[in-house]
Amino acid sequence: MKVALLTGSATGLGAVIAHHLALEGYTIAINYRQSKEQALETLQNLKNLGASDGIAIKADLSDPVETEALVKTVLSTFGYVDVLIHTAGPFLRERKPLTENSYAEWFEMINGNLSSAFFLCKNLIPSMRNRGYGRIITFGYDRAEQATEQFYRGPYASAKTGLVSLTRTLAIEERPHGITANMICPGDIRKKEKDAAIYDLVHDKQVNPSNPCRAIIDTLDLFLSPASYELNGSIINVTGGKNIFHEIDLQNFSKEPSLKKGQWVLVNPWDNEKCEIIDISIDYYGRNLYTIKDTKGEKCGKFTNYQIQEVN
């Protein structure tokens, strides 16, 4: 029996991976923080795909006590964990200069994206050492390994680049115990693409090659292979080359859709919520930066064209 613990796997990319691993014969422990209904729906899908022994566990991974309890529950249920896939982690609700973030906003990003990985590994790795085997996969963002400046994304970028160092440190320290640690850095993947990938896996047992989730799954399979012990401490950008800035990329910024103030759009980081453009500026790279407000006036943030969709 192959056992995988997947964090943040009730919805989104984590759920895509859970469906894929179910088809690969894994027994899966789903972790969720708030999305209980979606977690149970995902768990039922996994059982329909053959992963009948899976469980879903609620835990806030920014809390070390809840994280320790999560790991204890998984180990007491299955006896061991072969694979840890850590996709959980909050994203910025709003883009703004670093020093305009509150202490709470800073700690939400650091604890949710970085400290959570430490809490998980501290509690899980001893059992992996005892068995002489383990595969740990973390998730970053494109070019995270370069630790470049991230305009208006300071807390999130700080957490994820810290996660790069944590991943590589685990790789070198745990190598003698048969444990590898690697990171996948996806590009922007829209909700509709994740939903389509889950549909494909449930109905066709594989993801359409044109869906960016397919490349994530293929990379994941490479890292999870028992023969991949020499693939360790790797940070792989899976973006279709979009993480590489060429002259042609800069020229293409001028070809962005001509969105206007007052126009309604769907905001990807806000679960495709319908919102209004209230201002347009230019970011550090020369791209349009759209200031977005929700219908209730409770949220306001800045997003690039790649994070919003025009409402038809």
Tokens (6 digits) for 101: 């973030």
Establish if 119 belongs to a structural domain: yes
What CATH number corresponds to the domain at position 280? 2.30.30.140
Tokens (6 digits) for 6: 């997947």
* pLDDT confidence tier of residue 247, bands split at 50, 70 and 90: very low
Establish if 248 belongs to a structural domain: no
Please indicate, yes or no, whether residues 85 and 212 belong to a single structural domain of this protein. yes
* Tally of domains within the chain: 2
What CA–CA distance (Å, rounded) separates 87 from 15? 10
Query: Could you tell me the pTM of the whole model?
Result: 0.79
Please indicate, yes or no, whether residues 177 and 57 belong to a single structural domain of this protein. yes
Placement of tokens 């566990």 in the chain = 57
pLDDT at 227 over 80: yes
Last residue of a domain, one of 211, 238, 265: 238
* pLDDT confidence tier of residue 73, bands split at 50, 70 and 90: very high
Give the chain's mean pLDDT. 87
Q: What are phi and psi of 56, to 5 degrees?
A: -125, 130
What CA–CA distance (Å, rounded) separates 178 from 170? 11
CA distances from 8 to 3, 13, 57, 112 (A): 16, 8, 10, 11
Please indicate, yes or no, whether residues 124 and 172 belong to a single structural domain of this protein. yes
Placement of tokens 């690969």 in the chain = 24
Listed range (2-11, 143-152, 165-174) with the worst mean pLDDT = 143-152
Q: Residue 142's closest CA among 109, 183, 181, 186?
A: 186
Domain membership of residue 268 as a residue range? 256-310
